[in-house]
Chains A and B, each alone.
Chain A
Amino acid sequence: MMGIPRFSLPSRNWMIFWTVLASIGGGIAYDKYEQKQVRKKWMAEVEHLSKQVYPQDRTPRKLTIYIAPPPDDFLDESLRLFRKFIKPVLNSASLDYEIFSESRQGDIRQSVAQKIRQMRLDRLDSGVDGVNGAGANSVTEETNSKTWTSFAGGAKLFQKSQSGEIEDEQLVKRSELYKPRDVMGLYRVFKPMEEVKSEDEINPEEAGGVICIGRGAYKEYLAGVHEGLLGPLVKPQVLIEEEEQARIAKEKEKEERIKEGKPAEDLDDDDDEAGTKKLPPVTKSFIQPSEYAAAQLAPELNMANIILNDKNVPVVFEQPVYVYPIPKLTGFSKIPQKIYKYFTTRRLADDFGRRTTSIVYNLSRPYEFKDTLSAKEEEAEWPKKWVAKGIEKNSEWVQELEVDERITDRMRVYDPELLKNRKSYDDQN
């Protein structure tokens, strides 16, 4: 054949196939591309914060991030949202953060409450006459003085060994004698840094921030704060008895199984195959929401001013809080919606970027009643079977979130709406 090649369209079926393939593929590719652009936009919005020259004796503001998995799903799902849409912006703004993730219900609540209780106990101990606090200080001073500039203890140690005799001496941990920085020799040349201060310390009004990812994490965080501040300092007798009963019941069951001649292993879930101990079960809340009103608000703490920890940073419940809803749809009838959401993930990226930027800029306002309901829209999408099971098991997630005004009056929340008032934002958009 010569001349212009004969040109014809493929058959009808092939046409349909290629069109469908191209439109779906194009849709996905376009959305992925747009997501990247949106991410870049929000990262550029806050980038100027990380470009500033920074003194060496400062550490940036630190956020606390609580991540909970969506109901009936893995933690990875929430972590992925965090990694894709929140973390890039935080990193771009050079904010430090600490992540607490949970894989069982109640973990966040327990750890928050335990921390607050511990703080209250410490205050109770040291608050009387400050004896304990002074004692702790003198110990740290002692360790601090063992640097190159005053390495008396170490010198004595070496002299002893030079005398040549083999003596039966007391062995002490090396870390108690000196720190790595003492032996590196660097501080013979440079002066050790006197004091590193965090930005949170310098500016307690704008310190830190708490981010919860998922309505469940938010509920648990608030419940934990209430439990820590309003609850008793020691485990109530009711809970101890309850645990004891559960333990006895379990042992009985085990004995019965052995009597029947069945292997006891499948019941005994204290140890898994690797021989490692399973985590201890989450302790129940020391206080029920119905008892909030009658409880006394942490008498150990002076609630008149901002409560600082030993590093002069406002403690976690004094920092503003924010919650991201996890957009998750379940169920057969939701499949079309799911597909639509998949092809428009860029909107989610933009939304999360805006929310994160408001956190970066520290745009907060006092807590209002509506904040008790924030991210509540997520609850409508929680799987019905899961909720039913939760109600049956008395799970904390499915219960209404109860708050006490004495605590919420002190709290602040981040609000992306305030971003509109910012000049730099307006200039760009």
Chain B
Amino acid sequence: MFGLGGGAPQVNSKQKLQAAEAELDMVTGMFNSLVSQCHKKCINTAYNESDVTKQEALCLDRCVSKYFETNVKVGENMQKLGQSGAFMGRQ
């Protein structure tokens, strides 16, 4: 889902651990940017209410699902590019 594909069939445990760490970093980074972006977009910073209103709830819903969907799409595309070797001018 988040890049990295299936990897080569023969990988030792160290590489696996590194891959897992990198992936965890990636997921955390994505999550953080998602939270800040959707907060900025949807939440009224006047904070008149302690709870979210219906409008904010709907906006957050849409924001998060859109963000995930885009992320998956971009990830898939990058993976394809990486596999074909066309990425970063490596023809």
Name A's B-contacting residues (CB within 8 A): 49-54, 56, 58-60, 94, 96, 161-164, 166, 168, 171, 174-175, 180, 183-184, 186
B27 adjacent to A54 (CB under 8 Å): no
A54 adjacent to B31 (CB under 8 Å): no
Q: Which residues of A contact B54 (CB under 8 A)?
A: 49-54, 60, 94
Q: Which residues of A contact B17 (CB under 8 A)?
A: 161
A53 adjacent to B52 (CB under 8 Å): yes
A161 adjacent to B57 (CB under 8 Å): no
Q: Which residues of B contact A50 (CB under 8 A)?
A: 53-55, 58
Bound Cα distance from A203 to B71, whole angstroms: 34
- B11, B16, B53, B61: the one contacting A52 at CB < 8 Å is B53
Q: Which residues of B contact A164 (CB under 8 A)?
A: 12-13
A56 adjacent to B52 (CB under 8 Å): yes
A168 adjacent to B9 (CB under 8 Å): yes
Q: Main secondary structure on chain A at its contact with chain B?
A: loop
B28 within 8 Å of A (CB atoms)? yes
Q: Which residues of B contact A162 (CB under 8 A)?
A: 13
From known contacts A60-B58, A180-B1, infer whether A171 and B6 are also in contact, taking CB-CB under 8 Å. Answer: yes
Bound Cα distance from A253 to B62, whole angstroms: 49
Q: Which residues of A contact B11 (CB under 8 A)?
A: 166
Bound Cα distance from A174 to B19, whole angstroms: 13
Q: Which residues of A contact B9 (CB under 8 A)?
A: 168, 171
From known contacts A180-B27, A184-B27, A184-B31, infer whether A54 and B16 are also in contact, taking CB-CB under 8 Å. Answer: no
Bound Cα distance from A175 to B72, whole angstroms: 11
Least CB separation from A58: chain B residue: B57
B84 within 8 Å of A (CB atoms)? no
Q: Which residues of B contact A175 (CB under 8 A)?
A: 1
| Residues of B12-70 whose CB lies within 8 A of A | 12-13, 16-17, 23-24, 27-28, 31, 49, 51-58, 61-62, 68
B13 adjacent to A54 (CB under 8 Å): no
Q: Main secondary structure on chain B at its contact with chain A?
A: helix
B24 adjacent to A94 (CB under 8 Å): no
Bound Cα distance from A174 to B17, whole angstroms: 15
- B2, B24, B51, B68: the one contacting A54 at CB < 8 Å is B51
Most chain B beta-carbon contacts within 10 A, residue among A53, A168, A175, A186: A53
Least CB separation from B7: chain A residue: A171
Q: Which residues of B contact A60 (CB under 8 A)?
A: 54, 57-58
Least CB separation from B48: chain A residue: A51
Least CB separation from B31: chain A residue: A184
- A166, A174, A184: the one contacting B28 at CB < 8 Å is A184
- B6, B24, B28, B53: the one contacting A51 at CB < 8 Å is B53
Bound Cα distance from A175 to B17, whole angstroms: 18
Q: Which residues of B contact A54 (CB under 8 A)?
A: 51-54, 56-57
Bound Cα distance from A168 to B16, whole angstroms: 14
Most chain A beta-carbon contacts within 10 A, residue among B13, B24, B52, B56: B13
A161 adjacent to B13 (CB under 8 Å): yes
Contacts A/B (CB < 8 Å), 7 sampled = A50-B58, A53-B51, A54-B56, A60-B58, A162-B13, A184-B27, A184-B28
From known contacts A50-B53, A166-B11, A175-B1, infer whether A94 and B58 are also in contact, taking CB-CB under 8 Å. Answer: yes
B53 adjacent to A53 (CB under 8 Å): yes
From known contacts A51-B54, A54-B52, infer whether A166 and B1 are also in contact, taking CB-CB under 8 Å. Answer: no
Bound Cα distance from A174 to B61, whole angstroms: 24
Q: Which residues of A contact B12 (CB under 8 A)?
A: 164, 166
B24 adjacent to A56 (CB under 8 Å): no
**Top 4 closest pairs, chain A to chain B, by CB:** A50-B55, A54-B54, A94-B54, A161-B13
- Whole-angstrom distance from the CB of A51 to the nearest CB of chain B? 5
Least CB separation from A164: chain B residue: B13
B10 within 8 Å of A (CB atoms)? yes
Q: Which residues of B contact A96 (CB under 8 A)?
A: 58, 61-62
Bound Cα distance from A186 to B24, whole angstroms: 13
Q: Which residues of B contact A171 (CB under 8 A)?
A: 6, 9
Bound Cα distance from A163 to B13, whole angstroms: 8
Bound Cα distance from A59 to B54, whole angstroms: 9
A94 adjacent to B55 (CB under 8 Å): yes
A183 adjacent to B1 (CB under 8 Å): no
- Whole-angstrom distance from the CB of A41 to the nearest CB of chain B? 18
Bound Cα distance from A258 to B49, whole angstroms: 73
